[in-house]
A and B are shown apart, each in its own frame.
Chain A
């Protein structure tokens, strides 16, 4: 009988706990689908300086393969002040779910830009974190270090 009481109590507690999950979330909600972030892009220059570009929009299509990959589009991003902005698409970015954030990573990704594969800007060392409100990502585009830090574009 005692065994039944203990089992009943355990099941009841478990039900209470599980019911509580449905009513009130625990921790941040992780983003999914297509989300745009507005922020600042920074590109390292050959002379060691950095070029910063404000108001860059980066669009993330999370779990574009319905599994673990994302597509990141950097819209009209400039690599230097006198260059035109370029729409650069970085496909097959790995997405790993953490308890609070999504972690991005990628290596040797050939971006798509200007109508085809942009071989001179192969992406390496891509690392980033994504939340519902922010995107922080860094990478090397060819030989140039690049980074982006932005908030949710409303």
Chain B
């Protein structure tokens, strides 16, 4: 952070700009939240006092008539960065114009953002964990501004995939699927590999990870374990999302988009600040499409989507030192999904999607987050409280074939509470900088997951298997069920709570900075399950009538984890950037498998039936000790990393690079029990290692911006034997070995009026190879997808024509097995559309 080394920075003053609106001052309050004023007269008394010393400069900004004048002011500011500190009671005004980042390019901005590349983006954040400038931090990161998000049509977390090196979030299944793979770490189900924070609130349920973006101010992706500050499930990193604040934007926004697949997207939002101390916003979004995949069974599209979102935000300053930020968001999703195609592993041919039973997902999600922030003379304090409610239901044809085999209807209601307190030293530029905190959470899930076995499923999955053994002895005899379908009822209660304490200190020695941190986590997780099934059966050789059979599993289990996640780093600040080395530990919490219970109860039912018949097979198939089968342990890793953030060519060229090695213990992998099993199982896969390199480059020159990133990961099993095969030295499945993102933008100024611009944008995202199974016999080779947009911007209005997967490249993004069959999901086909944005 540039500025004084001894001054207090409890108030930040940001000079924003807009030629259309003359000038705007974004005053960062003591809370760290910013508000926008259109003139100096809008400033509060305290703020007047704080900006007094800056008034000449501010007035200079106000008097801007053209870009050149503005840039000269900026240049002047930049030259004086290290001394431009105003320190007067009760607070210090610090203008953050440190190097390295870019200004956000809002629709209102009429200047060429590339002309101000040398300026550090003003960070508008209420989180004390986040640094004002990641560029000075010893961490691999990617930051996306609102402009990046909107120009790149980044509409949900999955569209972040590949934008940052080694981050892969495949878009398959439904919005319940939130798989994240980063640096060889990841999993399809249960615990996520990265933490997700929205306005400082941790999203506890991975089912809620995939939500529609609207009015996102900034996204920061931190790669590598962030367990010291963020705790559980930040084993691969953290995604921090900041929504637009009424203190950083005033006005009303309208946008609409339409594309093939009847894709329609409408957003309306308004951001108001009735007084200098209070602001509110209301944002709405509606999104729908008819889908892109056809289910040949009925000729209908099978991935229709309807999504609605509402976000209310209140921000205010309670006093000079206290402020609050309250955000309530409601998201509703209703979709059809699971466009899975039968895949022939030998011929590598994919059959058309064809399933007879309905596949749907519905979710209602409410998030309420309240942050109280105190910025004193010596200390900063924040309290973040959240309540998260999820009500979702997934209905799935689990065989994904035209046969009536079996279906799953998994419904859950979840309540979660989180509370975090953070204390932080005030002066980020002092020799000793520290942060301490405590975190606690409670989450309770009520889940019902009945599996319905239908006629084909009873015949092929249950009776065929049983009769195979019986026919060896009695060729003419059969086991029969009276029912054409029956239900395996599964009910769960999953309570989990935890508490954490953490501390991190940094010591500066001239250009060197040493950081050490430690976090202790306690977590108590449990499961209470009640599963049962009732059938009537008959053995034709001996039983003239059907006989009832009741199978039941009813028990509870509990696990307690204690975790320590330290972090050590050293960084050196050179004139062209920083170089750092970090050692950090992360963990992904353990828990209980719920999706294996259909297998367990089915297995138990056959055992009960055979015992009832008095028939004893030497090998009845896979047998389970339920309490042992459902539990999986935490996954741990140590990440050793060295990296750099560099700036060249008068800061027009930005280079971030990192090398990493990860030693991972008990890696959690989704496995499919052998044979015609119907469940999935989270398993701890022994030990894996991954190493790789990451680089991302951004070059801006006049109207041209080039961005590129490349990530490589080699992730292998060191030890993993599932009892059937030794997978040592095999690649970890689903984790891509290479990710590539290339993007070029060029802006044509159509007239001398800066607001009249044409923006051409082209990007290419590549990923691969990904192995689909532990034995590495199936894989998706490297492939790339083109995207493009042409945007015309006129004052408050922007029209954009865009396309994705322009070459209609065919590729698989997901593979799995069910009942011994292999399935894949194809990547989305060619998409195109038009979007308009209007700022009122």
Which A residues fall within an 8 A CB radius of B?
76, 79-80, 82-88, 113-120
Can you spell out 10 A-B residue pairs with CB atoms less than 8 angstroms apart?
Answer: A84-B473, A85-B617, A87-B614, A87-B615, A88-B614, A115-B547, A115-B613, A116-B543, A116-B544, A120-B474
- Is the Cβ of A76 less than 8 Å from the Cβ of B616? yes
Task: Using CB atoms, name the residue of chain A closest to B614.
Answer: A87
With contacts defined as CB atoms under 8 Å apart, how many contacts are there between chain A and chain B in the complex? 53
Q: Which residues of A contact B542 (CB under 8 A)?
A: 113-119
B618 sits at the interface (CB 8 A): yes
Against A, the Cβ 8 Å flags (1 = close, 0 = not) of B463-486 are 000000110111000000000000
**Bound Cα distance from A3 to B469, whole angstroms:** 81
Residues from chain A with a CB closer than 8 A to the CB of B614 are 86-88, 113-115
Size band of the B side of the interface? 10 to 19
Q: Which residues in B have their C-beta under 8 angstroms from that of A115?
A: 538-539, 542-543, 547, 612-614
Chain B 56-79 interface 0/1 with A at a Cβ cutoff of 8 Å (1 = within)? 000000000000000000000000
Asked if B622 CB lies within 8 Å of chain A CBs, one says no
Which of B473, B538, B543 is in CB contact (< 8 Å) with A83? B473
In the complex, the answer to whether A84 meets B615 with C-beta atoms within 8 Å is yes
Whether A116 touches B616, Cβ cut-off 8 Å, given contacts A82-B472, A84-B469, A84-B473, is no
A-facing residues in B449-474 (Cβ within 8 Å): 469-470, 472-474
Contacts of A76 in B (CB 8 A): 616
Q: Is the CB of B615 within 8 A of A86?
A: yes
Q: Are A84 and B616 in contact (CB under 8 A)?
A: yes
Assembled-state Cα–Cα distance A120/B473 (Å): 11
> In the bound complex, what is the Cα–Cα distance between A113 and B220 (angstroms)?
68
Q: How far is the CA of A114 from the CA of B610 in the complex (A)?
A: 8
For chain B, residues 530 to 561, give those with C-beta under 8 angstroms from any C-beta of chain A.
538-539, 541-544, 547
Q: Please name all residues of chain A whose beta carbon is closer than 8 Å to the beta carbon of B474 when the two chains form the complex.
A: 120
Inter-chain CA distance A87–B538, complex, in Å, is 17
* 17 more A-B residue pairs beyond the given contacts A84-B470, A116-B541, with a C-beta to C-beta distance below 8 A: A80-B473, A83-B472, A84-B469, A84-B473, A84-B616, A84-B617, A84-B618, A85-B615, A86-B614, A86-B615, A86-B616, A115-B539, A115-B542, A115-B613, A116-B542, A118-B542, A120-B541
Specify the chain B residue showing the minimal Cβ separation from A111: B542
Whole-angstrom CA separation of A115 from B548 in the bound complex: 12
Which residues on the B side are within 8 Å of A88 (C-beta)? 614
Nearest first, the 4 closest Cβ-Cβ pairs linking A and B are A87-B614, A116-B542, A85-B616, A115-B543
Tell me if B472 and A114 are in contact (CB < 8 A).
no
Q: How far is the CA of A118 from the CA of B543 in the complex (A)?
A: 9
Cα A73 to Cα B617 in complex, Å, equals: 18
Q: How far is the CB of A106 from chain B (nearest CB, A)?
A: 20
With A82-B472, A84-B473 in contact, do A116 and B615 touch (Cβ < 8 Å)?
A: no
Q: Which residues of B have CB within 8 Å of A80?
A: 473
Report the separation of the CA atoms of residues A115 and B616 in the bound assembly, to the nearest whole angstrom.
Answer: 13
The CA-CA distance from A118 to B613 in the complex, in Å, is 12
Contacts of A119 in B (CB 8 A): 542
A38 to B322, CA, bound (A): 82
Write the nearest CB–CB distance from A118 to chain B, whole angstroms: 6
Tell me which residues across on chain B come within 8 A of A86, comparing CB atoms: 614-616
Closest beta carbon of chain A to B541's beta carbon, Å:
6
Which chain B residue has the least Cβ–Cβ distance from A116?
B542
Q: Which residues of A have CB within 8 Å of B539?
A: 114-116
- Chain B: minimal CB distance from A92 (Å): 18
Min CB distance B651 to A, Å, is 77
- In the assembly, what is the distance between CA of A114 and CA of B473, in Å? 12
Tell me the bound Cα distance from A106 to B574 in angstroms: 100
Residue of B whose beta carbon sits closest to that of A85: B616
Which of B539, B542, B544 has the most A CB atoms < 10 Å from its CB? B542
Nearest CB of chain A from residue B476's CB, rounded to whole Å: 10
**Which chain B residues lie closer than 8 Å to A116 at the CB level?**
539, 541-544
Report the Cα distance A88→B615, complex, angstroms.
9
C-alpha gap A140/B617 in the complex (Å) = 24
- Bound Cα distance A132, B39 (Å): 108
A83 to B469, CA, bound (A): 8
Closest to A73 in B: B614
Of the candidates A76, A80, A86, A114, the one having the most CB atoms from chain B within 10 angstroms of its own CB is A114
Chain B nearest CB from A45 CB (Å) reads 14
**Which residues of chain B come closer than 8 Å to A117, judged between CB atoms?**
542
For chain B, residues 565 to 618, give those with C-beta under 8 angstroms from any C-beta of chain A: 612-618
For residues 167 through 205 of chain B, which have their beta carbon under 8 Å from a beta carbon of chain A?
none
Is there an interface contact between B541 and A114, defined as CB atoms closer than 8 Å?
yes
List chain A residues, Cβ under 8 A from B617: 84-85
A21→B437 CA distance, assembly (Å): 88
In the bound complex, residues from chain B placing their C-beta under 8 Å from that of A113 are: 542, 614
Whole-angstrom CA separation of A113 from B612 in the bound complex: 10
Q: Which residues of A contact B544 (CB under 8 A)?
A: 116
Q: How far is the CA of A76 from the CA of B470 in the complex (A)?
A: 14
A118 / chain B contacts, CB cutoff of 8 Å:
541-542
Considering the chains assembled together, what is the distance between the CA atoms of A116 and B544 in angstroms? Answer: 8
A111 to B470, CA, bound (A): 18
Residues of A within 8 A of B613 (CB): 114-115
Bound CA span A83–B618, Å:
9
- Complex CA gap A93/B247 in Å reads 94
Bound CA span A82–B539, Å: 20
Which residue on chain A has the smallest CB distance to residue B477? A114
| B113 CB, min distance to chain A CBs, angstroms | 75
Rounded to whole angstroms, the CA-CA distance of A120 and B470 in the bound complex is: 15
B612 cross-chain contacts in A, Cβ below 8 A: 115
CA distance in complex: A61, B617 (Å): 26
CA distance A113 to B618 in the complex (A): 18
A residues less than 8 Å from B470 (CB atoms): 84
- Scoring B470, B473, B543 by chain A CB atoms within 10 A of each residue's CB, the highest score goes to B473
Question: Considering the chains assembled together, what is the distance between the CA atoms of A61 and B470 in angstroms?
Answer: 29
Q: Give CA–CA (A153, B653) in the complex, Å.
A: 85
Query: B469 — which chain A residues lie within 8 A by C-beta?
Result: 84
